[in-house]
Structure 1
């Protein structure tokens, strides 16, 4: 998973590049958040990371985008 805030010092476009270069990665841009998301939004961050590790990777192809 590549995660970053929409107000992060690492720009969202760079977080996207990171995600694109990690096989089977998910991109998560957190609204109204900076680089300290794990501290200031810890409940949301921990829940999302937990779900990421708990859920098998889902490759979305063709019309699966609409599911």
Structure 2
């Protein structure tokens, strides 16, 4: 399972990082950074929590 972030859609609300801080990092301006690699086992639902928290739907988990 991978996390994809559309940087053009991200508005920097940081809700993904609030919902799943272990999986979503932010740059210095508060925008989500790409997640490298696969979501660790057992973190799938946490990744989906971060995806659902994004008001712009800039995050895709799959």
Greater fraction of residues in helix = 1
When normalised by structure 2's length, the TM-score is 0.32
When normalised by structure 1's length, the TM-score is 0.30
